[in-house]
Amino acid sequence: MLQDGLPKDWRQALGAALDSPSFQELERFVEAERKSATVFPSEQDLFSAFRLTPYADVKVLLLGQDPYHGPGQAHGLAFSVQPGVTPPPSLVNIFKELETDVKEPRPKTGSLIAWAEQGVLLLNAVLTVRQAEPNSHAGHGWEDFTDAVIRAVSAKEDPVVFLLWGKYAQKKKKLIDAKRHVVIEGTHPSPLSAKSGFFGSRPFSTVNQALESKGRAPVDWRLSR
């Protein structure tokens, strides 16, 4: 079953969503897709974000849309690619802003595992995709599941910073208790929009300021260690 790959803590937090007809249909869909097409990420990487960032440790949620659709790229973390893989354009722009914002030299790897291990949940709204077919698994139930993830994180007692880049992500704001948590909205780092507000937005230092204002430790955004 699809949910078997989820860590126990997340299964407990998402119990109702995992028992829903929507998720059961999603399981059947993904199983059928894997039999008939090349699907990314691999089964073992599907829930990497949840494995690397336990529910109790989430202090930042960065929302993406769907996985990269090229071979060797997606590994279950939004915006991240597997170690040794050339960063795609959106990730290159993230690294450019990281350098400007927190003076972090552009890393040689596109892997964001170091962020995930510090409590940054790198969540895509859709968790699978067919090779070379972006958004091909949208509308098949993943959105119901990841909406439940956002609600579950919003239900945490500890304050969380939600970083929503682009209009797609910002539509999820309604799922968040903005009175208890911090919601930061910004321009998406894609090549189509980065120059229209992403560059110069200083999202990384802004997130850390928000965390510290809530009494939480900042994220060490360095990837070149």
As annotated, the active-site residues are 66
First to last CA, the chain: 37
At 42, which amino acid appears? Answer: S
- Please provide residue 151's backbone torsions phi and psi, each rounded to the nearest 5 degrees: -65, -40
At 155, which amino acid appears? Answer: A
3-state secondary structure of 185: strand
Does residue 85 contact residue 110 with C-beta atoms inside 8 Å? yes
- Please provide residue 86's backbone torsions phi and psi, each rounded to the nearest 5 degrees: -60, 125
